[in-house]
Amino acid sequence: MDKTRLALIGVGMIGKRHLKAMRDVEEAELAALVDTVPGVSGLAREWSVPFFETTDSMLKEIAPDGVIVCTPTEVHLEPVLQSLDAGAHVLVEKPITASLEEARQIIEKASATRKQVLVGHHRRHYGILHKTKQLLNNGALGQLIAVQGMWTTRKADAYYEPEWRKLRSSGPVLINLIHEIDTLRYLCGEVKSLSAKVSGEVRNHPKEETAALVMELENGVLGTFLLSDVTPSPWTWEHGTGENPGFPKSGQNAYRFVGTKGSLEFPNLRLWKTDGEPDWHHPMIQHDEGLPLEDAYIAQCRHFCRVIQNLEPPRITAEDATRTLAATLAVFDSAEQGKQIEL
Ligand SMILES: NC(=O)c1ccc[n+]([C@@H]2O[C@H](COP(=O)([O-])OP(=O)(O)OC[C@H]3O[C@@H](n4cnc5c(N)ncnc54)[C@H](O)[C@@H]3O)[C@@H](O)[C@H]2O)c1
């Protein structure tokens, strides 16, 4: 099997996570590291690959098959466009960009260069997401009527020491809620309209701290979601699954899906059905549909290689991720304009 040569651009917190995953992907070969911080050259030596301080110089010298872009969100656009122009396929971290205008530039460039752009909504690579979609689609809950979700935790004060983290572009809506919107879109369908309120008086940063959303999906399903980064609780996807060692596992569920014949807690996949007719007189019985959690970053990297080799269609394209971004940005529009946003 030919190895797919990948360069990593931006070797910070999440870049290192991709690097770790690459060790376990036999289809992948690390070809270069790029970062504006010269200290990253030490890591490049450890991996025996060349180090570059600019994307441009790396592309000229290495000509990789694909690049993984893990720079801060405001710095996604340039390395993505440069890499596409140089003939590389791209996996860019989420959000695809900070604005819809920049996201459209990426979509146009991918189409013009005929290269693939995948976006790092890594949850799409978990078996529990596919199992949930199957349960919802095969009528295990009857007709899906509504969904309720939470992502409520208190980020450590040290996290907010850098000034850029206090800005809206690094607030919990664009950093965290975007994962939830993508999860909801993937599981239940497109968001048709959305209303939101946001607040942020605890730390008094320019960014928001808390958001409450009401959504209607195109298929008529209703949804509510509560997000906050100033409230310790066991109810986030990360605490529930334990996917990230920074969030000690609580095992609690963060979502509830309710249908005409049953309901489902997620991500543990506890299915509740009545013993008999589906009405309130009958006892509810729990069915455990849970699955062990795999490493989504390994699966994502393997998938990226297989997309480059033309063996699989992309699971999340730039267009798809841009719809997730549009629904996420609508939270700010709705809160600022005090009205429901039609998407
Ligand atoms: N999928 C997820 O769950 C997840 C989790 C965390 C972060 N992210 C996303 O990953 C991206 C990076 O976040 P992070 O927390 O790793 O940030 P970070 O600040 O830890 O790392 C960013 C790295 O990029 C480097 N960099 C900056 N400008 C550069 C440039 N022009 N060229 C090359 N390197 C450059 C920085 O020196 C740094 O090493 C963000 O878009 C974020 O939203 C995704």
**What is the DSSP code string of 5-61?**
EEEEE--SHHHHHHHHHHTT-TTEEEEEEE-SSGGGHHHHHHHT--EESSHHHHHHH
Of 285, 320, 323, 268, nearest in space to 126 by CA: 268
Q: Whose CA is nearest to atom 12 of ligand 1?
A: 72
C-alpha 228 to ligand 1 mean position (Å): 22
Question: pLDDT value at position 1?
Answer: 66
Instruction: Report CA Rg, the chain.
Output: 21
C-alpha 264 to ligand 1 mean position (Å): 34
C-alpha 80 to ligand 1 mean position (Å): 13
Q: Whose CA is nearest to atom 25 of ligand 1?
A: 10
- In the chain, the domains with their CATH numbers are 4-123+297-312 (3.40.50.720), 127-292+326-342 (3.30.360.10)
C-alpha 65 to ligand 1 mean position (Å): 21
Q: Whose CA is nearest to atom 4 of ligand 1?
A: 14
C-alpha 53 to ligand 1 mean position (Å): 15
Indicate the top mutation candidate among 33, 35, 102 to test ligand 1's pocket, ranked by most ligand atoms within 8 A of CB: 35
Task: State the closest ligand 1 atom to the C-alpha of 40, by its place in the atom list counted from 1.
Answer: 39
Question: pLDDT value at position 203?
Answer: 93
Question: pLDDT value at position 336?
Answer: 97
What is the spatial distance between Cα 93 and Cα 72, in angstroms, rounded to a whole number?
9
Task: State the closest ligand 1 atom to the C-alpha of 73, by its place in the atom list counted from 1.
Answer: 41
C-alpha 98 to ligand 1 mean position (Å): 13
C-alpha 10 to ligand 1 mean position (Å): 6
Indicate the top mutation candidate among 8, 9, 13, 53 to test ligand 1's pocket, ranked by most ligand atoms within 8 A of CB: 13
Q: What is the pLDDT along the chain (343 residues), one digit of tens a residue?
A: 689 999 999 999 999 999 999 999 999 999 999 999 999 999 999 999 999 999 999 999 999 999 999 999 999 999 999 999 999 999 999 999 999 999 999 999 999 999 999 999 999 999 999 999 999 999 999 999 999 999 999 999 999 888 888 888 889 999 999 999 999 999 999 999 999 999 999 998 999 999 999 999 999 999 999 999 999 999 999 999 999 988 999 999 999 999 999 999 999 999 999 999 999 999 999 999 999 999 999 999 999 999 999 999 999 999 999 999 999 999 999 999 999 999 9
Peptide bond connecting 206 to the previous residue in cis, omega within 30 degrees of 0:
no
Measured from CB, residues less than 6 Å from any atom of ligand 1 are 9-15, 34-37, 55, 70-73, 75, 93-94, 120, 122, 175
